[in-house]
Structure formats: structure tokens, C-alpha cells
């Protein structure tokens, strides 16, 4: 094999290795960027969630002050007992009992 052809083959192998290494580097950078993005999204989600909880509590207290004490206390007690917010709407079972 002449020297010129040998150099061309080595150059092709070297170019191929560079392309493969560039691909591996691109994958690593993508994974790192994805991890950073995921961390940022989690932090922002936690912040928004906590803000929403605080706003919900604030609205409950405003509603409690604005409304009559008895009905609001009943709703709060029901919420505490069931772990869910009271909607103020009657279920079909409650409506049936009320009609009797």
C-alpha cells in the first residue's frame, strides 16, 4: 500500500473517530442540560405549589371573615373531617332528605 493511500485511510479513521467523539460529547451535554432543566422545573413547581397553598389559606380566611361565622365554621369542620374542601352544593342524597 503506497504511503499516500495509507495517510488517506488514517485520515478517514481519524475523521470518523472525531465524529463519534463529537456525538458522545453531544449526548453528554444533552443529558447534563436535561438534568439542569429538570431541577429548575422542579424548583419552580414547588414554589408555585407553595404559593398556591398560601393563597388558598388566605382566601379561606377572607371568606371566613366576610361570611357568617356558623356556615363557614361548618364548611371548615367538614373540610377537616373529610380532608376535602366543601363545595356548598348538596348531593342528590342530601336533596332527597331535605325534600322529605
For the cut 80, the answer to whether the pLDDT of residue 44 exceeds it is yes
Please report, in angstroms and rounded to a whole number, the separation of the first and last CA atoms in the chain: 104
How many domains in the chain?
1
| Rounded Cα–Cα distance for residues 2 and 32 (Å) | 45
Task: Provide φ and ψ at 63, rounded to 5°.
Answer: -65, -40
How far apart CA 59 and CA 57 sit, in angstroms, is 5
Q: Give 59's pLDDT tier (boundaries 50, 70, 90).
A: very high
Round the CA-based radius of gyration of the chain to a whole number and report it: 33
Quickly state the pLDDT bin for 11 (edges 50, 70, 90).
Answer: confident
pLDDT higher at 18 or 69: 18
Does pLDDT of 90 surpass 80?
no
Range of the domain at 40: 3-82
Q: Please say if the pLDDT value at position 45 is more than 60.
A: yes
DSSP code at position 83: S
Amino acid at each position: 500500500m503506497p504511503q499516500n493511500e495509507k495517510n488517506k485511510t488514517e485520515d478517514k479513521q481519524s475523521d470518523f473517530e472525531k465524529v463519534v467523539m463529537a456525538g458522545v460529547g453531544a449526548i453528554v451535554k444533552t443529558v447534563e442540560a436535561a438534568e439542569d432543566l429538570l431541577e429548575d422545573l422542579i424548583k419552580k413547581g414547588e414554589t408555585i405549589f407553595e404559593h398556591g397553598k398560601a393563597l388558598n389559606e388566605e382566601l379561606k380566611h377572607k371568606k371566613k371573615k366576610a361570611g357568617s361565622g356558623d356556615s363557614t365554621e361548618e364548611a371548615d369542620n367538614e373540610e377537616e373531617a373529610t380532608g376535602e374542601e366543601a363545595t356548598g352544593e348538596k348531593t342528590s342524597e342530601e336533596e332527597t332528605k331535605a325534600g322529605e
